[in-house]
A and B are shown apart, each in its own frame.
Chain A
Amino acid sequence: MTPRWRVRLLAASVFVLVLLVGAGGWLWLQQDQAAQLGGIGGPFALVDPAGHTVTDRDLRGRYLLVYFGYTFCPDVCPTTLTAIAGALDRLGPQAAHVQPVFITVDPARDTPKVVGQYAAAFSPRILALTGAQPAIDKVAAEYRVYVARHADDGKGDYTVDHSSIIYLMGPDGHFIAPIAADEPAKAMANDIARHLGGAAS
């Protein structure tokens, strides 16, 4: 082998090695991400506006759009719930298979009645849930929701930073995909419809 061929062979080997490492790394990342995404959601027992317990099992058979927020939220939650209501209107008959669920991250202020009134102001289709703090903590952890309460201003007012992602859950209770919460209704409807395939009537 001439020195030139040796250099070429070495270069080719390095190239193949880089490809393999890259592909392996990519696959590993994909798997890791899939495992993480697959882990979103879980059993819960919360309270609806009428004071009845609602569990994840009660909601099987429909697609769920799970969104976490709080009723003192002045801007983002109303904007997202407005978009969800608009997206459902745009989904037409498909919307019958989709149940939006609003879960408060601020159960201290958000009683069943309060969350019920709040969600109904955007759409009667939105199921509002609250619960005791441990039950909320559990469901927030299952959905990997970040919640951070800001310091009280002394008058009892505080805001809460929270994950602003809509979780699309399948009829079997498994996580399907995240839906961006900051999209307008039309884009959100398209995003949801893309995942509903078989449910279209």
Chain B
Amino acid sequence: MIGRRTVLLAAAALLPAAAAAQAPQVQVAQPWARAPAGAGRSTAVYLSLRAGGTADRLIGVATPVAGMAMLHESFQDHGIARMRMVEGLDLPAGMTVTLKPGGLHIMLTGLKQQLARGGSFPLTLHFANSPPVTVTVPVLAPGASGPQTPG
């Protein structure tokens, strides 16, 4: 009897955690992009991601405004600027991961429409555990260096 009660109690204790695990949510904050500095030129989206109580992984990005959206990382290798495609990005529980100029970014190529400064466009992020999140990305000046930069 005691054994069964203990098991039931343990199961009850696990319930809230199980419910949280079923609906993890990644918070996406401060998305922004630079207006491409020329017609048809590529650009990049930057933002912050924060997984809640459960670790997650960014596994895909999509936007109707670009032929291709890819998670990319710029890095310096002996003074050479290189880029590599990043298959996925681990989001540790409770930690903020920031995509910013000169490092991780979402590269947009083959733009289907002009991304003019002052405009915005939708971007959908896909995660391994959480449901997809769609955010509105404001388009800042080509020379913007962060989400706080005015216009």
Residues of A participating in the B interface, judged by any CB pair closer than 8 Å? 71-79, 81-83, 85-86, 114, 117-119, 121-123, 146, 153, 155, 157, 159, 161-165, 178, 181-182, 184-185
Contacts and interface: CB of A to CB of B under 8 A. Distances in A.
A178 B107 CA distance: 28
A82 B41 contact: no
Contact of A74 (B67, B72, B80, B141): B72
A75 B72 contact: yes
Contacts, number: 99
A165 to B, nearest CB: 5
Given A76-B74, A77-B81, 7 more contacts: A73-B42, A74-B43, A79-B101, A86-B143, A118-B37, A121-B141, A163-B81
A71 B143 contact: no
A121 B142 contact: yes
Nearest to B81: A164
B105 A157 contact: no
Interface residues of B, number: 31
B37 A164 contact: no
Nearest to B83: A159
Interface of B: 34-35, 37-39, 41-44, 67-68, 72, 74, 76, 79-83, 101-102, 105, 107-110, 141-145
A118 B41 contact: yes
Given A75-B102, A155-B67, A86 B43 contact: no
B108 A74 contact: yes
B82 A161 contact: yes
A72 B142 CA distance: 13
A78 B68 CA distance: 19
Contact of A161 (B43, B67, B80): B80
Name which of A75, A77, A153 has the most chain B CB atoms within 10 A of its CB.
Answer: A75
Contacts of A85: 143
A78 to B, nearest CB: 6
Contact of B38 (A82, A117, A161, A185): A117
Nearest to A162: B81
Contacts of A178: 79
Contacts of A74: 42-44, 72, 105, 107-109
A82 B107 contact: no
Contacts of A78: 34, 37, 43-44, 101, 142-143
A121 B143 contact: yes
Contacts of A119: 37
Name which of B79, B80, B81, B105 has the most chain A CB atoms within 10 A of its CB.
Answer: B81
Given A74-B44, A76-B102, A117-B38, A81 B107 contact: no
10 contacts: A72-B41, A74-B43, A75-B72, A79-B101, A83-B145, A121-B35, A157-B67, A157-B109, A163-B80, A185-B145
B108 to A, nearest CB: 7
A79 B145 contact: yes
A75 B37 contact: no
